[in-house]
Chain A
Amino acid sequence: MVSRIERDHARFRDIVKGKIKQNLKNYITQGEMIGRIGKQYVSIPVPRIDLPRFRYGLPETGGVSSGDGEVGTPLGPAGDPEEQSGQGDAGNQPGEHELEIDISYEELAKMLGEELELPKIEPKGSSKIEAMKRVYRGVHLNGPRSLVHFKRTYKEALKRQIAAEEYDPDDPIIIPVKKDFRYRGWKDIIQPQCNALIIYMMDVSGSMGDEQKEIVRIESFWIDTWLRSQYKNIETRYIIHDASARMVDRETFFRTKESGGTLISSAYKLCNMLIDRDFSPEEWNIYPFHFSDGDNWSSEDTKICVELLKNQILPKSNLFCYGQVVSRYGSGQFIKDLKESFNEEEKLILSTIENKDSIIKSIKEFLGKGK
């Protein structure tokens, strides 16, 4: 039996997925929860729904707490003050509990695709391999006994008996006859299978603050999700750079804070080398993404970057996306230079990300072309 709470739970998830109650769409906010699988911390973007209320307009009213420290001692990043539930549940493990939604990546990507009206990606390359998948949906009038759809069959029988006035509420016995039976039907879906490589490059020089990195993190999560829904076999590589570039794992990618100068060309060189060494453009759909605050060391270096892009990386890639995160310190020159050098280059997509709210817009710019 489905318990009561599971029905409420399903309804909530339907709302979040936008299947029902579109009027609540505006109240869904994106949060994230830091969870733990084994020893690894994972963060999952999660929506929650807050019905509007009359409340004070100060998101950061602070509060009262206790502990050691002088006036001015920092306590952690400012956000919504911790909510307290009204009932007597024993919060044995205090901590921020944001809400998480259990949606598979496939669903997530579908939602993203629908929301941003992203076109399906047309895969390139001759090595198109197709995979078949069988899904059960739809109801048929005939089929094997093993696929009887009991609920529908019952309904048909009930309808027929009521119509024939054979139904007695005091003795509600429903006996389906042959024409009442309904069967589950299936469909074979053919999906293209091809390979994709995503290379994330990020500027981690001193001028990229936590907020900028947060933006990159969220944006790359969604890009990752979308591309994963489009390709069966996906590889990701992470490159960070300041004055020199190196390849790192995902964890390090988002957590490192370097300081020092910025030579963007170092990352492009490494990226190019990586493609040449491991991923032949004939077999791989290649998507390099580069995020920076647009503050390159010298125009000399920018020139090298432009050369590398023009002659090496662009011809090998499906798309090259450059996202410039607006930061207080960066000059933001790089995007202008790129714009000048590549006027009508289709494969190069430039996007400026001002703050968290413009992430959606930026994703659309990057992936909106269906390449």
Chain B
Amino acid sequence: MIYGTALPPELHKVKDEIEVYARNYGLDFFETIFEMINYKQINEIASYGGFPTRYPHWRFGMDYDRLSKSYQFGLHKIYEMVINNDPCYAYLLNSNNFMDHKLVMAHVFAHCDFFKCNMYFSGTNRKMMDEMANHSTKIRNYMDKHGIGVVEDFIDVCLSIENLIDYYAMNQEEASLLSNKSLIEDDTKNKVHKMKSKGYMDKYINPEDFMKQQKDRLDKKKEKSKKTPIEPVKDVLYFLQEQAPLESWQRDVLSIIREESYYFSPQGQTKIMNEGWASYWHSTIMTQKALRDSEIIDFADHHSGTVHMRPGSLNPYKLGLELFRHIEERWNRGQFGKDWEECDDYRLKREWDKKLGLGREKIFEIRRLYNDVTFIDTFLTPEFAASFKLFTFDANKRTGQWEIASREFKKIKDKLLFSLTNFGQPFISVEDANFKNRSELLLLHRHEGFDLKISESRRTLEGVYKIWKRPVNVRTIVQGEKKILTYDGKEHTDETYE
């Protein structure tokens, strides 16, 4: 109990009722604790990413400012917050009406189920509430000791590279392991393979001069690849945390930022699925079980608000919900497998119904195994794109307006996947920590057809310099030319290379 604001008895009853519905449908969630708070509190919690305590930082104030202003001007309202923790904490806004609370509860239970069951959350810290409070205490202590400005400046630097983690690792521990592999030489590789032999036969089966020859060859190879890291390290934060000349408090701050980054990363990776899943279940539970006749209008109003989609934006609630429904229907009617794929009779396909009823089972499986990228990649079909009226849009340079660019399925899917892969962020990794043999840091930008924003990259490099304290470089491609951008602590230079 954080705000000491338990549910009033009538809502408590409703909570128990909805919880039973949810469990009966097969949702599997941690114990969920609801609290009723006012809009100021919910804005505060939302600014802190769902947590009651975070370390002091102006950016939370910035988010709070935006949230409370848009609430005041009636532009935006947060109905609910729920955090991935065991037990799950969920917050209800006290100014909502009774029906809203019911809907939100159904929505929240599905979120909690997703947190608990989706594979990508399996590595997250389920006691993050406590961990965040620890982080806050630590950083406050550092601030007391070193000064607010000094610590905050360093946090700013860390935040500007907080996205440079390995999004494909399940959690920070796995990422550390992977990174270590690239950092520390694998000794087993460098041993000359010896054939098994009895002691007296050894010098015949593994002749001495041959062994020596093999060893020399390996040594030479080793010399050649003597580079830190051996393989590029995707988890740039980990690399800096381990290798940069930092004071111990700075190292700790960096590790805190990294840990939080990993904690939030699955939520970013499953936004469409998570919201779709929760919307699917709130509408199922409400319409089939929990809704009373008198509430139907309010429900319709609230639900349509949640899934409303403005042209020019993509509402993850709506897309996720529709995709889950689409999949459920496909698997109910058996629209999958070889026969289905190979069928090119449009009419046959439309009336295809094997009455398998596998839909529910399938979507439960999907919520366990997929993330947004694989979800869209696997289940976004041309039929769905057409019925959902998907399109891509681009800026028209002449009019300065967004315009519908295409309704071609492949383009839609590519664009959607591109925006989701790595959160639409460039891939940056550490390539060399001893660049030019002068302890300079070389980052590598894996160019995927789009250039980096150069001015901003330079300013980011300035931050990295503050951590690395030696010149920092990033290898990238600028307008088709291979370039290395450098910041040496005083000025920016760039150099073309082949």
Contacts and interface: CB of A to CB of B under 8 A. Distances in A.
Nearest to B463: A52
Contact of B452 (A35, A56, A95, A102): A56
Contacts of A340: none
Contacts of B56: 4, 7-8, 11
Given A5-B44, A7-B56, A75-B311, A65 B393 contact: yes
Contact of A93 (B75, B164, B415): B75
A208 to B, nearest CB: 15
Nearest to B164: A54
Contacts of A88: 50, 80-82, 111, 267, 274-275, 278
Interface in A1-37: 3-5, 7-13, 15, 20-21, 23-24, 26-27, 33, 35-37
A139 interface: no
A26 to B, nearest CB: 8
Contact of B64 (A9, A63, A64): A9
Contacts of A90: 78-80, 104, 107, 306, 317
Q: Which of A12, A60, A211 has the most CB of B within 10 A?
A: A12
A8 B60 contact: yes
Nearest to A44: B69
Contact of B65 (A9, A51, A82): A9
B314 A12 contact: no
Contacts of A122: none
Contact of B451 (A24, A48, A56, A70): A56
Q: Which of A70, A91, A101 has the most CB of B within 10 A?
A: A91
Contacts of B138: none
A64 B58 contact: no
Contacts of B462: 52
Contacts of B161: 53-54
A74 interface: yes
Contacts of A8: 47, 56-61, 64
B326 to A, nearest CB: 13
Contact of B75 (A97, A101, A211): A97
A76 B43 CA distance: 29
A210 B399 CA distance: 10
A78 B391 contact: no
Contacts of A9: 61, 64-65
A93 to B, nearest CB: 5
Interface string B60-80: 111011100110111111111
Given A60-B395, A74-B399, A78-B396, A5 B309 contact: no
Interface string A48-72: 1101111111101111111111111
Interface in B338-364: none
A73 B454 CA distance: 32
Contacts of B77: 92-93
A146 interface: no
Contacts of B47: 5, 8
A158 B485 CA distance: 55
Interface in B251-300: 264, 267-268, 271, 274-275, 278
A12 B311 CA distance: 33
**Size bracket, chain A contacts:** 35 or more
B472 to A, nearest CB: 12
A256 B355 CA distance: 60
B470 interface: no
A210 B57 CA distance: 38
B211 interface: no
Interface string B377-409: 000000000001111111110011111111100
Q: Which of B56, B72, B316, B393 has the most CB of A within 10 A?
A: B393
Contact of B401 (A33, A78, A87): A78
Contacts of B72: 35
B445 A74 contact: no
Given A4-B56, A86-B268, A99-B66, A67 B309 contact: yes
Interface in B394-438: 394-396, 399-407, 412, 415-416, 419, 424-426, 428
B160 interface: yes
B481 interface: no
Interface string B6-32: 000000000000000000000000000
A344 interface: no
B159 interface: yes
Contact of A13 (B61, B76, B160): B61
Interface in A106-163: none
Interface stretch (B149-157, B197-205, B327-335): B149-157
A172 interface: no
B50 A74 contact: no
Contacts of B75: 33, 35-36, 93, 95, 97
A169 interface: no
Given A9-B61, A91-B76, A4 B53 contact: yes
B271 to A, nearest CB: 7
Contact of A24 (B48, B156, B271): B156
Contact of B389 (A49, A62, A67, A77): A67
B225 interface: no
Q: Which of B50, B61, B314 has the most CB of A within 10 A?
A: B61
Interface in B308-322: 308-319
A66 B404 CA distance: 10
Given A35-B69, A87-B46, A88-B267, A57 B452 contact: yes
A188 interface: no
Contacts of A57: 450-454, 456
A101 B75 CA distance: 15
A35 B73 contact: yes
Contacts of A24: 156
A63 B43 CA distance: 29
B193 interface: no
Contacts of A67: 309, 311, 389, 391
B122 interface: no
A76 to B, nearest CB: 6
A82 B402 CA distance: 12
B391 A65 contact: yes
A241 to B, nearest CB: 25
A62 B392 contact: yes
Contact of A76 (B392, B401, B451): B401
Q: Which of A49, A56, A77, A87 has the most CB of B within 10 A?
A: A87
Interface in B59-114: 59-62, 64-66, 69-70, 72-82, 104, 107, 111
Contacts of A311: none
Q: Which of A11, A15, A211 has the most CB of B within 10 A?
A: A11
Given A5-B61, A52-B456, A100 B275 contact: no
17 contacts: A5-B60, A8-B61, A21-B152, A24-B156, A26-B459, A35-B72, A54-B164, A54-B425, A54-B452, A54-B460, A63-B419, A64-B390, A76-B402, A87-B46, A88-B278, A95-B310, A100-B70
Given A62-B405, A76-B401, 18 more contacts: A5-B48, A9-B65, A21-B149, A37-B73, A53-B456, A54-B460, A56-B450, A56-B452, A64-B314, A66-B388, A66-B390, A86-B267, A90-B104, A91-B76, A92-B306, A95-B75, A99-B62, A100-B70
Interface of B: 43-44, 46-50, 53-54, 56-62, 64-66, 69-70, 72-82, 104, 107, 111, 149, 152-153, 156, 159-161, 163-164, 264, 267-268, 271, 274-275, 278, 302, 305-306, 308-319, 388-396, 399-407, 412, 415-416, 419, 424-426, 428, 445, 450-454, 456-457, 459-460, 462-463, 474
